Homo-oligomer: A and B are copies of this chain.
Amino acid sequence: MSDRLIVVSTDCHAGLPIADYKPYVETRYHEMMDMAVPVQLEMMEKASKSFLIQEINEAWRAPIRQQLTGAWDYPERVRMLAGDGIAAEVMFPDGITENNTPPFGAGLGLSPRDAVPELQWAGAMAHNRWLAEFCANDPARHIGVASIPLLWDVQQAVEAVRWCVDNGLRAVMIPTLWGDQPAYHHSRYNPFWEVCEDLGVIVHFHSGPAPHPEYFGKDWPVEDSSEQMPGAMGVYVSEVMWWLYRPLTFMIWGGVFERYPRLKVVIVEGGTMFMLPPWLRLLDHNYRDVQFSAKLGDFRAHLSMAPSDYYRRNVAIGASCVPRADLDLREAIGPSQIMWGSDYPHPEGTWPNTGEYFKTTFSKFPEADGRRILGDNAVEFYGLDREKLQAVADRIGPDASMFA
């Protein structure tokens, strides 16, 4: 074991400023894009006032403007990774700070709300085309997560997954919320789970989506409703984690992991993780509780294991900027399931102070566990090339002194 750690960030973001996606969008959607982009820019501008008030403000951005272009500029990105000591990264859409999100609502939110299915697909595939090119710079280091608006057309999603694999991508994200579409226990999604299992494509859910109009009003983000609906942000931060875990609740009970035992799923940036063990306990309780079973019919007959068994076999956690308090719960969460992430370039991320974060967070932490959480778990889960990454780490990775 080399002294230098292979650090893998399982939560980074990459994407073009929205207008720059045009060359990657099919020509027939260009006119629509010309109309939609200014509207989306205006919405983002308004949302940044009512939602992420200080997050992406000018004062924060000014001194790091150049570095933020690493969201789409490859040499800048390599410098960022070197600065943070990151050997490999998993890349989601939406840099956010520079309005860098795919058009037509195909980015991190990937919400069915107000989406036009054909356009959302067009925006998603535009991002996926760009992402495949970007990752091709060094496939061992960059794991791109393609955007797949699964809800509208499962067969189209299956074909998109095949396209991804043909183009070097083997990770996808699907909507965390399904709106009025069938939820993920529905058998209509079977062909999608099947192709992901077959081709070794890992399915991701990323934190963020939630029913914002319920919190902030129907006219959000166009109108500020904070006087009429006080505390909306408190509700949002208290619920967002639940919406993130929710797809797993449906997939586990729906028997998805029973039918596709090699399917892998990651839930990313779940915030503080202390809700995870009680959530698992609740699922297991409902699985084992005989009274429910007798009263409500045998809803577990199709499951050969308890919910937490599927969780431990099929699921990993993208634990962005994980605080020490959560690391201390690692036995309950699953010590081989926690995978660190820097969340570059989001302002809540550890970037550009990752080295400092390592020292304060991992001080007097068991080195073996630390190595797993910071990289080895991800190397194994994503099937990365350890040899190549060790060579990178030997050049830019942190050493084990953080554990002292």
Contacts and interface: CB of A to CB of B under 8 A. Distances in A.
A348 B291 CA distance: 8
Most buried by B among A55, A297, A300, A348: A297
Contacts of A242: 242
Interface in A294-348: 294-297, 299-300, 302-303, 347-348
Contacts of A286: 234, 237-238
Contact of A253 (B228, B231, B253, B347): B231
Given A237-B296, A238-B282, A281-B274, A231 B185 contact: yes
A232 B295 contact: no
B285 A272 contact: yes
Interface in A218-249: 227-235, 237-239, 241-242, 246, 249
B296 A228 contact: no
Nearest to A181: B214
A17 interface: no
Contacts of A290: none
Given A238-B253, A238-B282, A283-B238, A302 B231 contact: yes
Interface in A154-198: 182-183, 185-188
Contacts of A300: 231, 234
A302 B230 contact: yes
A234 B297 contact: no
Contacts of A217: 182
Given A237-B296, A295-B347, A295-B348, A228 B187 contact: yes
B250 A235 contact: yes
A230 B190 CA distance: 12
Contact of A254 (B231, B278, B285): B231
Given A230-B302, A297-B233, A183 B54 contact: no
A54 B186 contact: no
B214 A229 contact: no
Contacts of A299: 231-234, 237
13 contacts: A53-B296, A229-B254, A230-B255, A231-B250, A231-B253, A232-B299, A233-B253, A233-B297, A234-B299, A235-B249, A238-B282, A241-B282, A274-B281
Interface of A: 51-55, 182-183, 185-188, 214-215, 217, 227-235, 237-239, 241-242, 246, 249-250, 252-255, 272, 274-275, 278, 281-283, 285-287, 291-292, 294-297, 299-300, 302-303, 347-348
